[in-house]
Chains A and B, each alone.
Chain A
């Protein structure tokens, strides 16, 4: 653990990130937006609904909305934080010097990734007091929140690793950004659309629903579907019914995103430095 926190790249990145007022302004605006949503929702429900109180099911609805806001935040901020991690160093002509140091490629990639993830975690943790407002009104268990945060972390890690990978193999930050956002949109929107198309065609062609592992796979890797199954467990049954595959969505999601993370980190580490010993 001590070695993790003594990673020079991680320490430097955190130092630089928090010297810039941009980071604090970002957190401030994020919290203001969260507050406006939560307190606005409570105000609308209690004052204008005429009931004067906040029901547990309304609290659950607020929790669901907040969870999707957090997911959106992760999906949109993670590529922005990671897709330029290596390419910016290359563009600023600091990468070559870094690569001649004794640090291993893994240390550099790990430092870059963890510093970005650390900032995102800070955002999530800073939003926790507002998030936990839902506990005041019931309807949501702390374990449910814990599981959702665990999957948020995995999503962050996977998309962050993809961003770092593109940043390593693509020279220009702008192209790396486009590639990372493209992958994020594919994972969060296109996979859902493919799932709908596959299950729809399956029903139309076969007349009755037949087994569709591919459709189940695309549903499993979609973060929006995952959050849906986590906040309302009944939706898991809907996926099973439409694909005839009885395999927990969260397990498929965890396996896929762990593999993606490992693959992206492996490629980043391999491609960061030139292979001096390769013969052409």
Chain B
């Protein structure tokens, strides 16, 4: 559905995007992770036919952004990171304007607009002026706007930025619904755990280069093979900590008195991990739980970008 080949964008001597290659299948939800200025918005702007690439090309459903920009526009729904709204225009009129801009007939728009407002939970605000809506509502309305022509691909640049936790959850729920509709979604965000929850694939971009790409679990496994383990026990915690400290694969051991648990990073293999638990049981440690904590995607991001710098 999306194919990016050797895409570069240069401003003078500075590469905003450097030889980006990426292929995404139809229905994939792709999370684009990167620090500010890493090249996420540049990539999205090129895909949205708003920015001319210096070299390379990108294809949306087989259509080149260079030679078939008009066709690409019909296939994508774009939501920029920063956007404005027209004063003196009501929510339903806002959608009507963009619907007409995509050549949708008035009769179709009349059916479509209430459905979209329903999808983004703004039915009760349809007669409100857009500039008077809250930030979260504007974001949702903009998302509805990007869906008005039923695009195959959604390009969402930081859709949850600046939103309060409730608005973020609402936005995430809508995106899950869109994922369920089979849309191919490209989404960039700084709220990395949220991306992990809804994305099929993650791409980490830094300094204009795609430094990691794969499923969430693949990306996480790139983290130097360390696993974070929590052991909850019954009995004296000091003895337990002393026991684990002796293991050569264990580092960064911490005691949590309130939970009566210890946490540590484990470098050994899965078999070593099994043996460790067995040894602990043999050592008469009363283990209530022995669990591996999922590595936070933010940690992964920090680790990967640290290596790239």
Where the two chains meet, the residues of A that have a C-beta atom closer than 8 Å to any C-beta of B are 6, 8-9, 11-12, 15-16, 19-20, 92-94, 96-104, 273-278, 280
Contacts and interface: CB of A to CB of B under 8 A. Distances in A.
A276 B93 CA distance: 31
Nearest to B48: A100
Interface in B10-55: 45, 48-54
Nearest to A18: B88
A interface, by DSSP: helix, strand, loop or mixed? loop
A94 B86 CA distance: 8
A94 B85 contact: yes
B140 interface: no
Given A15-B93, A102-B149, A93 B83 contact: yes
Interface string B278-302: 0000000000000000000000000
A278 B65 CA distance: 12
Contacts of B50: 96, 99-100, 274
A276 B80 contact: no
Interface stretch (B94-102, B113-121, B163-171, B255-263): B94-102
Q: Is the interface on chain B under 10, 10 to 19, 20 to 34, or 35 or more residues?
A: 35 or more
B146 to A, nearest CB: 8
A101 B85 contact: no
26 contacts: A6-B100, A8-B100, A9-B101, A12-B89, A92-B86, A93-B82, A93-B83, A96-B50, A96-B80, A97-B78, A97-B83, A97-B142, A97-B145, A99-B49, A100-B50, A101-B101, A102-B74, A102-B101, A102-B103, A102-B149, A274-B50, A274-B52, A276-B53, A276-B65, A276-B66, A277-B69
Contact of A94 (B69, B83, B93): B83
B67 interface: yes
Nearest to A280: B54
Contacts of B209: none
Contact of A274 (B51, B142, B145): B51
A173 to B, nearest CB: 14
Contacts of A274: 49-52
B52 A12 contact: no
B304 interface: no
Nearest to A12: B97
A15 B89 contact: yes
B67 to A, nearest CB: 6
B87 interface: yes
B187 interface: no
B227 interface: no
Nearest to A89: B84
Nearest to B51: A274
B4 interface: no
B76 A100 contact: yes
A120 B80 CA distance: 34
A8 B80 contact: no
A166 B76 CA distance: 30
B70 interface: yes
A118 B48 CA distance: 32
B64 to A, nearest CB: 8
A141 to B, nearest CB: 43
Contact of B84 (A6, A94, A102, A276): A94
A100 B84 contact: no
A109 B205 CA distance: 37
Contacts of A96: 45, 48, 50, 78, 80, 83
B73 A101 contact: yes
Contacts of A276: 49, 52-53, 65-67, 69
B65 A20 contact: no
A94 B130 CA distance: 13
A277 B73 contact: no
Contact of B70 (A12, A98, A102): A102
A150 B84 CA distance: 38
